[in-house]
Structures are given as structure tokens and as C-alpha cells.
Amino acid sequence: MRSTRALQQPSSKNPRVQRGPRSGPLPFGERNVRAVRSPDGLDRWVSRQAAALIVGCLTAWGGPAGAQSLPDFASRVASEQAVVVSITTVSYRTPFALDPDDAQLGTAGPYRGRAVPTSAATGRVRRSLASGFIVSPEGHIVTSAHAVGPKEEMTVRLADGREFVGKLLGADETSDVALLKVDAAGLPSAEIGGNAALAVGDWVAAVGAPFGLERSLTAGIVSAKRVLPESGNFLFIQTDVAINPGSSGSPLFNLGGQVVGMNSMVYTTSGGYMGVSFALPIDMVMEIANQLRAQGQVVRGQLGLSVQELTVGLAHAFALPGGGARGALVARVRQGSMAERAGVRLGDIILGFEARSDMSYDEIQRGIGAKRAGDIAALNVWRAGGVKRIEVQVTARTMPPALTAPAVARAPRGDRLGLVFSSRASGPRNPADEEAGVEVIDTHGPALRAGIGAGDRVVALNDLAIRRIEDYDKAIARLPRGAVVAVLIVRDGRRRYFALATNEER
């Protein structure tokens, strides 16, 4: 189970929930309604009215006109459990290896980041468990890539107790989807649903092997659908279904018994479930699985650019009309890419594709991800006070080369944005180095409040590239008093714009 550290720490290490006397209205279904003591039989009248109100509410809630009844998971749990498998792996590792899916039955305590002893002689560790689900009667199984590879041995246990050696047909680390194959036939396979009809508030359930407890059912609702930039910019289904170590790769079912997602990760500070889980949509999972089955790898298209979500402050900095924050801000255009050749620039705001110019950031991200090599992406772009249409040919995605540049010390200096720098005054060693810029060694004022810190590098102001301190000095000198500027920062290899207002109190 992958985990992403939560933004807020709990108030105490061991929070406790203390039960006190119940107060407020009695829950639906209570047999006794307490009457208010009053003279002249008013207590009996109040009691009758309260009982009538409860009956009326129950009728309206579950009656033909209304609305929703309680979800029924029991009628389908047997067929759902039949398509879920448990995956045990044996790997060669160094002693006391750490892994988020390490779980050993009969051992109490948290498992995220726990040291698991290995054999001193062989360095082998038995890692149990991950989950998966059967997608074809011929024995194809979908699971999480991080839970199964690379491994030396892999055993797949079916719901009926049979065990098979699993063969890894392919794994896509970008999406965290893997496809396995066992030598079997006539297996029960999952009914694959669709994601178009899945809505926030819908009931969903997961069947997996948390902590090695096979065929465990947990249930909840869809909490949101959101793109997580730190996890490949994929759209995720956020739920409150309990997912714990051993449940990675388990299916997410709707009330009809159809698989609508694959459980992939949680937000946590403890390594276990804390109420926020994420599943990959089944439409995307099956598309990736089909590519892995056909060619053993996933080939994705790329435009040669990186985008980030547009905020109200950044929209103001780029003079985008309407005061909204729809669209995607171009934070990087790779040198030599098709996007650069087509004329896309740093600081452009992509408003949409084809005939649309009102797409959200999530829609644009999904649109970019859906493009395949050879497609033409018609972008509607906001630049310099107007909308331009730019057509970019999609190419196959390749890994960019590592980019490095020497740092040259310079005396610290402050400026109107609250930045103190260490400069690359001599310029980058490689003229084609896109990662040049001005290194931040301290912040105060606007930069500090925005979250810029030591080690960040400023590589652009609005759409003007900053390769050395002289570029920055010229750009900052042209800013009018009280201006809001978009500062592009590189941090840990990732780029992001920050909207800063100039500090005129210095």
C-alpha cells in the first residue's frame, strides 16, 4: 500500500474517544419516546406526536417516493470474494528491509515502515500480502505494481484455496498497475464496470487481505474525484473505505458488484488507514492492463510540457479575465519538444482543447494523459491578453536526461519579493541546461509566506526565463510598484509557480 503523508499531524500520539452520556434526539428506531412532564395530559399528547413524527420520517426516508435505502453488500459478497486473490512474494533483500506492504499474520502493531527481519544466510524475506483481482477466465490478474515487483518468487492464492506461481507480464510504475498470469483456466472473473456513472456519495466496497486477513470486506462512500500531482497527475477516486497494508491492488466494487476501481494508496501519518483512501479508476486500469498484455509495457503520449493548477493569484498575475482559476498554467516547455516547435511558451495558460476554452485543470490533465503518439492536440491558449490556437503533435513519452549546472557562490541579497540568493553568476556549464536559474538561500516577507524556501531555484518570472542573476535583476527592476508576479520555482526536480506581491516597505 503506497502512502502519502498527511498535511496535518494529529494533536496527540494516542488520541482516545471517550463516551459520555448520550444527549440530543434519540436515534431512529428507539422503542421508547420520553414524554415531557406537563399537566393536563400534555405529556401523552407530546409522546404520541413524537412517535408519529418518527414513523413519518422513516416512511419518507425509505418509502417509494424517496429516497435511498440502506446499501446491501451481503447479497453480492460471495461473488465478489471469488474473484479476489492474495499475492505472496519472496524477495532477495538486505536484512531489516522496509516495505509498506509487509504484514505477518499473528504479529500485532503497525506495519507501515516496520523493520522485517530477513535470513542472515540468504537475505530472503517473505512479504505478505498484496491483493489483486481476476480479469479473465484464463488467469490474468490485475494488482498494484509497487506490491509485486521486482520479486524473485510470487505465489497467487485463489479464494478456493488453490495456489499458483504468478508470472509478471508487465508493470507500469507510473500508474502503479501490474498484470500477472497464472496457469489456470475457467476461473471466475470480475465484472468490469465503468466510471462515468460513479458519483460522489455513491456506496462502494473493497475486498482484500489487510494484514493478511484474506477476503475482508470494507465499505464506505466515494468522497471525491481528484487529480493528485504527487502521484503522476492521474485522476483518483477518493473514498473512506478502510484500506490497510495487504490490500494494495484490491478491487473497489459498486453496489451492483462491478469493479469500478483498484485500491492503490492512502493518506496517513501512521502507516495505516486514517479515513482517506485512493483508488485508480477501472477504465484507466483496464486500458493499461490491455497494453501490458499486448506489449509488456505502456506507451504514453506527451506534448513536451508540464502544467500546474491555476490559482486566483496566478490568474491575476497573468491578467486572465473573469477572476476565475480555470485552466492549466504551463510551468515548463522542454527544449526540442513538439510543444516548443509549435510555439507553446512558458507562462501560457491552456484553457482547453478543440472547441472548448472553459476546461478545469483536472479535465486538461486527463485530456493530456489520454493523447497517444501521433495525435494532434489543438490547444486554446491564453497569452498576452488574448487567446491563441496552437496545434501540437503528440509524441511517445521518453525519460528526460538528468540536468545539472554548477553553483557559484555570491553574497546574499534581498529584494522586493523577499528572496535572498546564491547565484549561478557564471552561467550553466551546458548551454542547453533548462535547470539553470538563481538559487534561493533564504526568504522573508512575500516569498516566505508563499512557501518558497532555501534550496529552491527561481527559473522564471511570469513567462520570462531566468538563467542567471543578471536576468533576474533586469526582470525585477521592471516590475511596477505593488505588482503581482508569478515566480517559477524548481524544487526536487519539480516545477511550480508561486504568485508573489512585491514588498514595497523595504
Q: Among all residues, which ones are annotated catalytic?
A: 146, 176, 248
Number of helices (H), then strands (E), in the chain: 9, 29
What are the E-state strand segments in 167-316? 167-172, 177-181, 203-208, 216-228, 234-239, 251-254, 259-268, 277-281, 301-302, 305-309
CA distance 219 to 423: 54
CA distance 181 to 169: 7
- Residue 315 contacts by C-beta under 8 Å, 6 or more apart in sequence? 322, 323, 324, 325, 327, 349
Cell of 11: 494533536
CA distance 4 to 271: 9
Is the separation of the CB atoms in 142 and 250 below 8 Å? no
CA distance 484 to 388: 24
Cell of 479: 516590475
Helices (H), 193-241: none
Provide the 8-state DSSP code for 210: G
* Phi then psi dihedrals of residue 228, to 5 deg: -110, 105
Whose CA is closest to 187, among 134, 142, 131, 143? 134
Is the separation of the CB atoms in 130 and 143 below 8 Å? yes
Cell of 190: 470480475
Rg of the chain over Cα atoms, rounded to whole angstroms, equals: 28
Cell of 148: 509485486
CA 179 to chain centre: 21
CA distance 179 to 169: 6
| Angle in degrees, CA 226, 227, 228, rounded to 5 | 115
Is beta strand 464-465 parallel, antiparallel or unpaired with respect to 457-461?
antiparallel
- Give the per-residue SS3 of 319-338: CCCCCCCCCEEEEEECCCCH
CA distance 317 to 418: 17
Residues in the chain: 506
CA distance 244 to 149: 19
